[in-house]
Chains A and B, each alone.
Chain A
Amino acid sequence: MEAIRFDQVSKRYPGGQDALTTLSFGVNGGEMVFITGHSGAGKSSLLRLVGALDRPTRGLVQVLGENLGRLSRRAVPRYRRRLGLVFQDHRLLMDRSVFHNVVLPLVVAGVAADESARRVRAALDKVGLLGSEGKRPLQLSGGERQRVGIARALVGKPELLLADEPTGNLDPNLSAEIMGLFASFAEAGTTVLVASHDLALVQRMQKRVLVLEKGKLIDDFRPRSRHER
């Protein structure tokens, strides 16, 4: 079953530049896929389309069974609750505790308090931050903040995880650790889409890679490890 289908998708922003042109690809459920390319190649535009933050100018974007070009404004929130979003700048609420940041999607979804607390702890446990619930994001390191962001994306048990340069501000060790975390979610059945310009890291993960250049898909491959070659 395909989780994501792009069919001849173009996106032109007001002002005239083409962010994406006639893009076609599919991603299976439970697959982990990297999107790479230089900055400005269209990685973020692609993720914005999948996250229903923008609508395609032309073509079909079908995600989790929804035609996003036709999704009504009222239906967007319900759709977004099926996703988990991770940002480069993590976008945490700095004046709230770690717990409050992570529980937010469950509050939005109307989950009961006792169950929410349990799920927040489970999510924090997964990213190795159990015990930091009461801290403020400012008391955490950059890597820890990013992991709080991941816990927040994770806590609602999303069907699809979108991450835009999730390791952009982190050192290589932390980056590898975070990518490993994403890979483990994919193994558990979540579809994972990660935009990253860190080619070395992407190579090492040995997952499918879509390469964008100037809004076009120029490569779609799966790197092999050295001993496979």
Chain B
Amino acid sequence: MRASRRAVGESAWRQSLRGWLRAHGFALFSAFGRLLQRPLDQGLTITVLAVALTLPALGLVALENGGKLLAGAARPSDLLLFMIEGASAELSADLADRLRGDPRVVAVETRSPDEALAEFRALSGFADALVEAQGNPLPWVLSLRLREGTDPAALAEEIRAAPEVDAVTFEGAWLQRLEASLRLARRALWLLGGLLATAVLLVVGNTVRLEIATRQEEIEVVKLIGASDAFVRRPFLYGGLWLGLSAGLLATLLVSATLWALGPPARELALSYGSSFELEGLRLQQVVVLMAVALALGWLGAFLATAQRLRAIDPR
């Protein structure tokens, strides 16, 4: 009675959707059940996968933190201009105004010798000794923020020609070098990540291949009973997804634990440089990306392992 009413009340595609969902639900949970059947083996596999995912993830987080540190520092396009000794406040203000009129300059900030001394005093303990010995030896300083695309070296040369200017330092050189090293590190990390992703694929693929080998008999029986290739394959694909999911979660945990452990010493180091830099942990978006990568690799590894092998098993 009930069955026939259901058949009348539902369209054919809803019934087939229901059957499809049932088949997928079955595959999903039977795959999970098998994961729990051999906890030690599977646990070891998952740990290997998690470590392989943790290394590049940590590298990326480190690079991101490095980038953040650089963004806080002066930009490579900034110039620092030192007036000659004894230059007056008016002279410095005049020069600052002239430079503000230059289209290549975005902003000019002037710092008096007293301000500079106060800053120096705050950062080190030598200032008092310095003042006692010679009076304030520091000159007026102008710091210039340049428009994007301006060649800092050329402008520095130009400004240095002015008689009231003692020296112009182009702060960017070391920053440029550091940025180049970061780019190199990023490239190296992508390559390393690619290698480790390949390792994840191979480990998942090999695990699934072993699973297929131990369940050959079952696969034959299910095929005899009328299971399609897709039906036979599905639990293995879900098995790959479960491996990826577990490994991704464990990797997230490992990365977070590592960052948590490194946080306090990093803060101490930053403080000793007078910076309030804080090591940044995994953001939600990064966790999502990590999980997506883990799931995709798990699925793909299982997909590749099953592609040929399951077809090759023909029932006797």
Contact = CB atoms under 8 A, between A and B. Distances in A.
Nearest to B26: A107
Interface stretch (A2-10, A75-83, A132-140, A187-195): A75-83
A79 B228 CA distance: 10
A80 B3 contact: no
B226 A81 contact: yes
Given A104-B221, A110-B19, A110-B20, A53 B315 contact: yes
Contact of A109 (B3, B18, B226): B226
Interface residue range, chain A: 20 to 34
Interface in A86-122: 91, 93, 104-105, 107-110, 112-113, 115
A74 interface: yes
B187 interface: no
A35 interface: no
Contact of B225 (A53, A80, A110, A115): A80
B222 interface: yes
B interface SS class: helix
A85 interface: yes
A72 B314 CA distance: 15
Most buried by A among B222, B223, B228: B228
B221 A110 contact: no
A223 B11 CA distance: 51
Contacts of A91: 217, 220-221, 224
A116 B229 CA distance: 22
A152 to B, nearest CB: 8
Given A77-B228, A110-B23, A115 B222 contact: no
B118 to A, nearest CB: 78
Contact of B226 (A74, A78, A112, A115): A78
B260 interface: no
Given A77-B227, A77-B228, A93-B217, A108 B222 contact: yes
Contacts of A53: 224, 314-316
Nearest to A84: B225
A105 B26 contact: no
Contacts of B221: 91, 93, 104
A interface SS class: helix
Contacts of B26: 107
A154 to B, nearest CB: 12
A83 B227 CA distance: 12
Interface string B205-243: 000000000000110111111111101000000000000
B178 to A, nearest CB: 59
A74 B231 CA distance: 12
Contacts of A93: 217-218, 221
A113 B224 CA distance: 21
B121 interface: no
Interface string A174-185: 000000000000
Nearest to B315: A53
Given A53-B316, A74-B228, 7 more contacts: A77-B228, A80-B226, A81-B225, A91-B224, A93-B217, A93-B218, A112-B18
Which 7 A/B pairs are nearest by Cβ-Cβ distance? Answer: A110-B19, A81-B226, A80-B226, A77-B228, A108-B227, A105-B225, A77-B226
